[in-house]
Amino acid sequence: MTQKPSNNGPVLREHVYDGIQEYDQKLPNWWLFTWYITMAWFVIAWFAYYQLNLGESGPEQVERELAAIKSSQLKALEKLSDDKLWAMSQDEKVVAAGAATFATTCVACHGPDLSAKIAGAKLPGLPLNDAEWKHGGAPLQILNLVRKGAPDVTKGMPPWEGQLGLNRVVEVVAFILSKHKQGEPVTLATDSPLKK
- Residues of this chain, 96-155, that bind another protein according to CB under 8 A: 101, 104-105, 108-109, 121-124, 149, 151-155
Q: What are the angstrom distances between the C-alpha of 164 and each of 92, 102, 125, 167, 176? A: 20, 11, 18, 8, 16
Which member of 90, 163, 182, 187 binds another protein (CB under 8 A)?
Answer: 163
Binding residues among 6-25 for another protein as defined by CB under 8 A: 10, 12-13, 15, 17-25
Of 82, 127, 165, 192, the residue at the interface with another protein (CB under 8 A) is: 165
Q: In the complex, what is the shortest distance from the CB of residue 196 to another protein, in angstroms, rounded to a whole number?
A: 21
Residue 146 CA to chain centroid, in angstroms? 16
- Measured from the CB atom, the residue of 55 and 179 that comes closer to another protein is 55
Nearer to another protein, 168 or 180 (CB): 168
- Which listed range, 68-76, 78-86, 135-143, 177-185, lies at the site for another protein (CB under 8 A)? 68-76
- Residue 73 or 115 with smaller CB distance to another protein: 73
Listed in sequence order, the residues at least 6 apart from 87 whose beta carbon sits closer than 8 Å to its beta carbon are: none
Chain centroid offset of residue 25 CA: 53
Closest distance of CB 184 from another protein, Å? 27
Q: Which of 27, 78, 119, 195 binds another protein (CB under 8 A)?
A: 27
Query: For residue 146, which of 182, 181, 106, 118 has the smallest C-alpha distance?
Result: 106
Nearer to another protein, 52 or 185 (CB): 52
Q: Give how many residues touch another protein by CB under 8 A.
A: 71
Query: What amino acid is encoded at 123 in this protein?
Result: L
Residue at 168: amino acid letter: R
- Of 123 and 140, nearer to another protein (C-beta) is 123
Q: Output the CA torsion 9→23→25→34 (10° steps).
A: 140
Binding mask 28-47 for another protein (x = CB under 8 A): x--x--xx--xx-xxx-xxx
CB 133 within 8 A of CB 188: yes
Does residue 139 sit in helix, strand or coil? helix
CA–CA dist 146, 101 (Å, integer): 13
Among 65, 83, 113, 179, binds another protein (CB under 8 A): 65
